[in-house]
Structure 1
Amino acid sequence: MIAQRTLLASAVLSALATLSHSAFAQTQEQTLPAVVVTSTPFNSDEGAQILAPAKVVYGDELREKLGNSLGDTLSQELGVSASAFGAGASRPIIRGMEGPRVKILQNGMSILDASSLSNDHAVGGEASTARQIEILRGPASLLYGSGAIGGVVNIINDRIPTVLNAKPTGDAEVRYGTVDHTKNMSLSVDGAAGDIGLHIDGNLRNSDDYKIPGDVSLSDPSLGSGRLPNSFARANSLGFGASYIQSWGHIGASVGVNDDRYGIPTEERSFITLKQTRFDIDGLIKEPFGNFESLRFKLGHTDYKHTENLEDGTPATDFKNNALESRIELTHKPMAGWRGTFGLQTENSEFSALAADGSGPETVPLTKTDSIAGFLVEERDFGPFRASAGARLESVKRKPDAVSGLTQRDFNLGSYSLGGLWTFTPGYGLGATASVAQRAPAIEELYSNGPHESTATFDIGDNNLNKETSRNFEISLQKTEGLIRWKANIFQTRVKNYIYGRTDGTTVNEDGVVDPIATNNEFLQRFWSQNSATIRGAEAEISYNLRGEGWSWRGFADTSRGKLTDLDNLPLQPATRYGGEVGYRQGGWRSGVKVLHAQEQDKLASFESFVTPSYTQVDANLSYTQRINSNDVTWFAIVKNLLNDDIRLSTSVLREEAPLPGRNLIIGVRTSF
C-alpha cells in the first residue's frame, strides 16, 4: 500500500514537472491584482486587512477548493477547520470557534438559517455559484454581530447587480466526482436591459454515499467498510435578481430558493429535507447629503424549514425559522482625518423545533427574538501608522411561547475593538488588535428540552445562562508586496461564561427519562453549561508568486488550544496542522499539488474519549484553458485525498464513525463568457 501511494504521488509530481520548460526563468516581479474585500467598511484590498485579517477565495482557487458544503470548501484555509457532519452539512470553524460564534453572511446579510444551532444543519448558502468567499475577523466584524467572536464568512454571489453589463456575462460548470458519483452543474449569468441589471444563478448537485479508505469505525469493524452508509447529499438552488442602476447608485431586489436532502451517517440512518426561500432588497445612494459618501440600506427575509426524518421516512422534528433583518449604513467622508461607517441593524425572528406530528416533546419551543444594534467602525492614518476602532451596542430579547412556561430573557451587549498597523517599511507591517465582544445565549442554549434525532442527543438548555464576554488580543506581522509574501499571527481569547454542550454518558428515551428497556434509550443527554475558557494559538504562512505565471509555492501552519478553567480542554478542538503546496502556471495551463498534515489530537474534554489520529491529505489539480468562439473554456481534473488516507477531523462530532471521503477524482469543464 505504501509503495502504491508513493507511485501515485510520484506520477502526479512528474506530470507537473513536464509542464515546465522554463522552471525558474521568471525573475521579474509581477504586479498582482488587488482583491476587494466587500465585507469591510472601506472595500479595502486583501493585503490591507491586517486590522481585520482576511482571506478572499475566488477564481480558479475557489473552483479547485469547492466541496459539497461551505465547511468542506474552506477547511484548509489558515485557522479554519470544519464541523464535517457528513457530506450534506459542514460549517466553518475558525480558531476553534464554531456555531453562533462564526457569522455566515450572503452578500453582507445574515444567512438566517439554522446551521449555527447544530452541526447536522446545512448552511443555507451555496458556494458553487459564489464569485468569492471572504473570511474576516477584527474590528470590521462588529458591523455584523456582537457574537461574531470567531469571525465572519461572507458568500458573495452578486445576486443583486450593481453594474450594467454591455453584453451578458457569466460562468457555467459541469463536474463529476468518482468517490460518490457526484454530478454537479452550476450557472451564473449577468445581463442588462436598459438601466435594469439582471442576474440569474442556479446549482444542481447529486451525490451518493461516498467511499471511505477503511472501516467506518476504528474500534468496531462490524459497522462496515467500503462506503459510509447514509452519506448521500442532494442540493438544488435557484436565484433571480434585478436592480435599477444609475449614476447616483442603485436599488434592487432578489429571490432565492434552496431545496436540499442529505443523509446523517449515524446508526439511526436519519435524513434531513431542507427548504428555504429568501427575499432581499439592496439600495445604495452615492453622495446622499452633506459630508457623506454613501447611504446603503438592506432588507432580507428568510422562510426556512428543515425536517429530520427517521430511516423509514417518518418525519420526526420540524425546525422552522421565519426571520427578517434590516440594515442601514452611512459612510462618511474624512472628518478630522477619520473615515468610517456607522449604522443600525435589526433582526426579528420566530424559531421552533417541534415534533412533526404535533404530539411529541418540544425540542425547542416557539421563540421570538427581537434585536436592535447600532455600530460604528472608523480608521485613520497617522503617517506610517493606521489606527482602526469599532464599537457595537445591541439589545436582544428572546421570548419563548407562554405555553412552554419558560421565561423571557433580555440581554444588553456591548462590543469594542481597537487596532493599529505600523508600516515600518514599504510592504511590511506590524499590527495589533484588542477587542471585547459579548454574545447573548442562543435559543437552543436557553430553551432546548427534547430529542434531536440527527445527533441522537436529548438536548437540555439552561434558562439562566448569562451572556458571554470575550477579551481578544492578536499580534500580526506580514509582508504584503513582492513575489515572496508572508504573515504570522499569534492570538489569545479569554471568554467569561463560555457556553458549551457537555454529556455525562446518560442515555434516555424520547421523553428524556431512562427507560428500563435499554433498547429504548436512544438519546444521549447533552447539557448546555457555562465556564470560563481560554483559547490561544498561532498561524503562519509564506508564499512565492501565488497568482503569477511560472512556478509558485506556499508553506503554512496553524495551531490553537482551548481550555476550560475547571474542566481542562474545550471539546472538539482542531488539531495542529502544517503543510505546503507547489504549483505551475504557463499560458492556459495551471497545475498544483498540496500536502496538509494534521497531528494527533489528544487534548480532549473531560467527557471525550476518542483520540483523533494524525493524517496526511494530498490534493492535486491540473487544468487547461482555451479560447473557443470568444469564450474561455477550462478543462480540469482535481484529485482530493490522493493517498486515500483515513481522515477524521477532531472538530467533527462524528469523528469516531464518519471518516472523510477517500480518493476522489473530479473532472469537469467550465466556461466563462
Structure 2
Amino acid sequence: MSSARFPKAPMGLFALSALASSVALANTPEAKPLLEITITASPLGRTADELVQPVSVLSGEELASKKRGGIGETLANEPGISTGDFGAGASRPVIRGQSGPRVDVLANGISAMDVSALSPDHAVTINPLIARQIEVIKGPATLLYGSSSSGGVINVTDTRLATEVTEGFSGALESSYGSNARNALGAADINYGSGNHQFHLDATRSRSEDYAIPGNAAIDGSGSNGRLANSASDLDNGALGYSYIADNGNAFSVSASQYDQRYGLPIEEEKFIVMRQRRYDAQALLRNPTPALESVRIRLSDSRYRHTEFEAPNEVGTRFTNNETQARIEAVHEDIGGLRGVIGAQFGVREFAALGDEAFVPATKSQQAGLFFLEEKRFGRNKIEFGARIEHVVLDPEVGQQRDFTPISASIGNRYDLGENTHLRVTLTHAERAPAIEELYANGPHEATATFEIGSDRLRKEQSQDIEVGIDHHQGRFDLEASVFHKQARNYIYAREQDDGNGNALLVGDDGLPGDELLLINFVQDRARFTGYELAASYALLNETDGPVQLSVRGFTDAVRGTLETDSGDAPAPRLTPSRYGMSLHGHYREASANISFVQAMDQNRPGRLDTETNGYGLLNADLSVVVHRHGASEASVFVQGTNLLDDDIRRATSFIKDAVPAPGRGGVVGVRYTF
C-alpha cells in the first residue's frame, strides 16, 4: 500500500508560515479569555478563576485549532492529560495517571453512557468536532458526579440543549481534507431562534483510510510499514434539538442524537467494530422558582447503545449492548448566612450485556442513586468551598454474586487571595469508588489487550485521600498556573499480571488453560500513591496596545509518578504518562492567526510490572487560519494544519498496544470554515 507521508518541503513551509504568522494573544472576537468563561460542569456557574478545584478549559479559537476526531486526541497535550491510544477509532482521556472507570466523560453534564470505560478499544460516543467548550476537572469530582469520576471529569458542551434564544440563524459549517489518512470531513452546526423558540441541527460525516506512520508499526519490525494496517475509521453523527425559553428565563429543551462509527482494530488484520448509539436528552431550567432558590436544573437522558466486533467482514465476533437512563437535579439556593451552594440528586439504571467469543464480562444490571451538596462562603481574603456526597450502587450480574456499595465522599478547599491578581488554592478530598463490573465479574479472553481477565466479586470500595496545592497569577501580559498534588489510595483496584514464579509472564489460551496467546491478569487491591505537578505560564510579547501584530508565548511542564504498595514491595503503576514539557507561540495579524507548538515527552523508564519501557518523542504541530470574507457577524476562513511535523515515532506509555501501534506520523489538513 502506498504511503501518504508528507514530504520534507511542506513540513518546512508549515513551520515557516506558522512562525511568520504566529503573532497574537489567544483572544479573538469569538473567544473569551479563560477568566471570563463560565464552567458549566459547576452548578454554581463560576469561572475557572473563581473555582477552588483545578479546571482547564478549551474554547473558541484554541479549541478550533486542537479539535481532533476523538476526545482523547483533542486533549492529549494539555497539562496533566494524555490519551490511551488504540489506533484512530478509540482514544479515551487519561488524567494524572487515572483512566477507565475513574474518569467520567460527560455530554452537557450527563455521562456518555457507552462502554468505553470497559476496554481501551471501545470509542467514546461524544463528538468533539461540534463542541463549543470542553472542560476538564482534574482530581476527584466525586462530589458532583459520583464514584466513576474519582480521577476527574471531562464535560463536552454543545448547543443541543439551549437555555437562551439567539435570534435568526447562527452556527458553523466546516469542511476539510487530511493527507495522513486521506481523511475527508464535513460538519454543520446550525441554530435558529425566533421569539421563545430555539431550533438546533448538527451533522458530522468523516471518512479516513489507514493512517501513515514513520516506519514499521511494531517495534520488533513485524508489523505493517509506512501505513498502519486496519486503522481506517468512519463516523456519522447528528442531532436535532428544540428549546422553549419563556419570557421569565425558564428553559425547556429536548434533543435526539445518533452516533454511528466503524473503525478497525490495528492489532488484528481484519477485525473491526461497528457501533451505534441512539440518545435522547431533556432539560428543564427554572430560574428563581422560589424566593430561596436561584435556579433548579433537571436533566434526563436515555441511551440505547450497541456495538459489534467483527473478526472479519461478515464474521460476527462479539456483540455488546448498553441500555442506560440517567436523571439529575441541581438546586442552587440563595445566600443563607453567607453560604451559597447547590443541593442535588442523581439516579441511574443500566443494563449491560455481551454475547460472543469475547464476552468476558457477564450481563449485569446496575442501579445508582446519589445525594450531594456543595457550599461556598467568602470571608476576608478567603473563599471556602466544602461538600459531601453519598450514593448507593447495586450490581446484579447474570452470573456471579450481587454486590452493593455505599461510597461516601467529602472535600474542603480554600482559595486565598494573596493579591488582587494572585490566588493560592488548597484542596483536601476523601473520595470513594465502587468497583466497576469488569473489575468484579470479568472472566474470559480480551483480545484487544491480549489478556485473559479474571475479576473478583470480593473487591471492596476503593478509597483515596487527595491533597492539592496550587497558585495562579493573572496580571497584564503575564499568566501563571502551578499545582502539586498527591493521592494516597487504599484498596486501589488494578489488573495485576501473573508470572510463572521466575519473573516471566504467565500466558494462557482463549480457554484460560496454559498456552502462548494471552497474558493472565487478575483484578486485585493494594495501597497506591500518585504524586505529580503541573506548571503553565504565558506572556504577551506584543498585545493590542502595541500595534496590529500580537504575539504570545506559552510554556508548560507536567509529571506524575505512581507506585503500587504490594505485599512483595513497591512497584511502579502501569501505563503512566512520562514527564513532559512544551512551548507554543500563538498570534494574530489582521485577518490571520496561527500557532506553532512543540511537546517533548521523556522516556518512560519506570514501566509497570511486566510492562515495557517507552522511548520519548517530540511532537511539533502548527496551524494557520486566514479570514477571507467577513460580513456582519458572518465570516469565512481557510485554515491549514500540520501535525507531527517531525514525523517522530510516537508511542504513548498509556497505550496497551504501544509496541505494535504508534500514533499517526506527519500529516497536513486543509479546510474551510464558515461561522454565522
AA of the residue aligned to 2:450 = A
Structure 2 counterpart of 1:386 = 383
Structure 1 counterpart of 2:88 = 87
Structure 2 counterpart of 1:368 = 365
AA of the residue aligned to 2:295 = S
The correspondence for 1:639, drawn from 632, 639, 642, is: 642
Query: Are the equivalent residues in 1 in contact too, given 2:301–2:325 (CA < 8 A)?
Result: yes
Moved more, 275-284 or 260-269: 260-269
The answer to whether structure 1 residue 199 and structure 2 residue 194 are counterparts is no
The correspondence for 2:428, drawn from 425, 431, 434, is: 434
The correspondence for 1:534, drawn from 525, 529, 536, is: 529
The answer to whether structure 1 residue 555 and structure 2 residue 577 are counterparts is no
- TM (norm. structure 1) is 0.93
Query: Are the equivalent residues in 2 in contact too, given 1:601–1:612 (CA < 8 A)?
Result: yes
1:265-276 equivalences in 2 (<5 Å): 265-267=266-268, 269-276=270-277
Tell me, in whole angstroms, the C-alpha distance in 2 between the residues paired with 1:298 and 1:150: 23
AA of the residue aligned to 1:562 = G
Query: Are the equivalent residues in 2 in contact too, given 1:299–1:325 (CA < 8 A)?
Result: yes
The answer to whether structure 1 residue 146 and structure 2 residue 140 are counterparts is no
Structure 1 counterpart of 2:651 = 648
AA of the residue aligned to 1:543 = S
Structure 1 counterpart of 2:547 = none
Query: Are the equivalent residues in 2 in contact too, given 1:436–1:469 (CA < 8 A)?
Result: yes
Residues 32 and 510 of structure 1, relative CA distance in 2, 3 Å threshold: closer
The answer to whether structure 1 residue 606 and structure 2 residue 609 are counterparts is yes
1:445 alignment partner, SS class: helix
Structure 2 counterpart of 1:626 = 628
AA of the residue aligned to 1:294 = S
CA deviations on 1:426-472 (whole Å, 9 max, x unpaired) are 11011100000000000111111122243333221111111100110
Residues 573 and 18 of structure 1, relative CA distance in 2, 3 Å threshold: closer
CA deviations on 1:25-70 (whole Å, 9 max, x unpaired) are x9xxx99471111111221122223x12111111221121111211
Query: Are the equivalent residues in 2 in contact too, given 1:276–1:303 (CA < 8 A)?
Result: yes
2:143 alignment partner, SS class: helix
Moved more, 190-199 or 151-160: 190-199
Shift of 1:296: 1.0
The correspondence for 1:525, drawn from 520, 523, 533, is: 520
Structure 2 counterpart of 1:127 = 128
The correspondence for 1:663, drawn from 659, 662, 666, is: 666
1:71-470 equivalences in 2 (<5 Å): 71-137=72-138, 142-218=143-219, 220-246=220-246, 247-267=248-268, 269-355=270-356, 362-401=359-398, 404=399, 406-470=400-464
Residues 231 and 362 of structure 1, relative CA distance in 2, 3 Å threshold: closer
AA of the residue aligned to 1:345 = Q
AA of the residue aligned to 1:395 = H
Structure 2 counterpart of 1:61 = 62
Residues 179 and 202 of structure 1, relative CA distance in 2, 3 Å threshold: same
The correspondence for 2:473, drawn from 465, 473, 479, is: 479
Structure 2 counterpart of 1:518 = none
Query: Are the equivalent residues in 1 in contact too, given 2:56–2:137 (CA < 8 A)?
Result: yes
1:480 alignment partner, SS class: strand
AA of the residue aligned to 2:599 = L
Query: Are the equivalent residues in 1 in contact too, given 2:211–2:664 (CA < 8 A)?
Result: yes
Shift of 1:629: 4.6
Shift of 1:17: 5.0
CA deviations on 1:144-202 (whole Å, 9 max, x unpaired) are 11331221100101211211121010011111110101111111111124422111111
Shift of 1:139: 7.4
CA deviations on 1:245-276 (whole Å, 9 max, x unpaired) are 11241112111100000111104542111110
Which runs of 5 or more residues in structure 2 are unaligned? Answer: 1-5, 499-504, 545-549
Query: Are the equivalent residues in 2 in contact too, given 1:138–1:433 (CA < 8 A)?
Result: no
Tell me, in whole angstroms, the C-alpha distance in 2 between the residues paired with 1:140 and 1:654: 29
Query: Are the equivalent residues in 1 in contact too, given 2:300–2:328 (CA < 8 A)?
Result: yes
Tell me, in whole angstroms, the C-alpha distance in 2 between the residues paired with 1:640 and 1:606: 33
Tell me, in whole angstroms, the C-alpha distance in 1 between the residues paired with 2:354 and 2:346: 26
Query: Are the equivalent residues in 2 in contact too, given 1:347–1:370 (CA < 8 A)?
Result: yes
1:120 alignment partner, SS class: coil
Query: Are the equivalent residues in 2 in contact too, given 1:216–1:657 (CA < 8 A)?
Result: yes
Query: Are the equivalent residues in 2 in contact too, given 1:146–1:392 (CA < 8 A)?
Result: no
1:47 alignment partner, SS class: coil
2:408 alignment partner, SS class: strand
Shift of 1:311: 2.8
Shift of 1:16: 4.2
Query: Are the equivalent residues in 2 in contact too, given 1:47–1:480 (CA < 8 A)?
Result: no
Residues 137 and 528 of structure 1, relative CA distance in 2, 3 Å threshold: same
Query: Are the equivalent residues in 2 in contact too, given 1:617–1:641 (CA < 8 A)?
Result: yes
Shift of 1:23: 9.3
Residues 271 and 369 of structure 1, relative CA distance in 2, 3 Å threshold: same
2:340 alignment partner, SS class: strand
Tell me, in whole angstroms, the C-alpha distance in 2 between the residues paired with 1:642 and 1:300: 41
Tell me, in whole angstroms, the C-alpha distance in 1 between the residues paired with 2:169 and 2:313: 46
- TM (norm. structure 2) is 0.92
1:417 alignment partner, SS class: strand
Residues 579 and 511 of structure 1, relative CA distance in 2, 3 Å threshold: same
Query: Are the equivalent residues in 2 in contact too, given 1:270–1:453 (CA < 8 A)?
Result: no
Tell me, in whole angstroms, the C-alpha distance in 1 between the residues paired with 2:450 and 2:333: 51
Shift of 1:224: 2.8
Query: Are the equivalent residues in 2 in contact too, given 1:37–1:134 (CA < 8 A)?
Result: yes
The answer to whether structure 1 residue 544 and structure 2 residue 539 are counterparts is yes
Query: Are the equivalent residues in 2 in contact too, given 1:147–1:437 (CA < 8 A)?
Result: no
Query: Are the equivalent residues in 2 in contact too, given 1:139–1:388 (CA < 8 A)?
Result: no
Moved more, 366-375 or 144-153: 144-153
Query: Are the equivalent residues in 1 in contact too, given 2:41–2:135 (CA < 8 A)?
Result: yes
Query: Are the equivalent residues in 2 in contact too, given 1:147–1:438 (CA < 8 A)?
Result: no
Structure 1 counterpart of 2:3 = none
Tell me, in whole angstroms, the C-alpha distance in 1 between the residues paired with 2:313 and 2:528: 42
RMSD value over aligned CA atoms? 2.2
Tell me, in whole angstroms, the C-alpha distance in 2 between the residues paired with 1:579 and 1:200: 38
Structure 2 counterpart of 1:595 = 598
Moved more, 120-129 or 286-295: 286-295
Query: Are the equivalent residues in 2 in contact too, given 1:9–1:642 (CA < 8 A)?
Result: yes
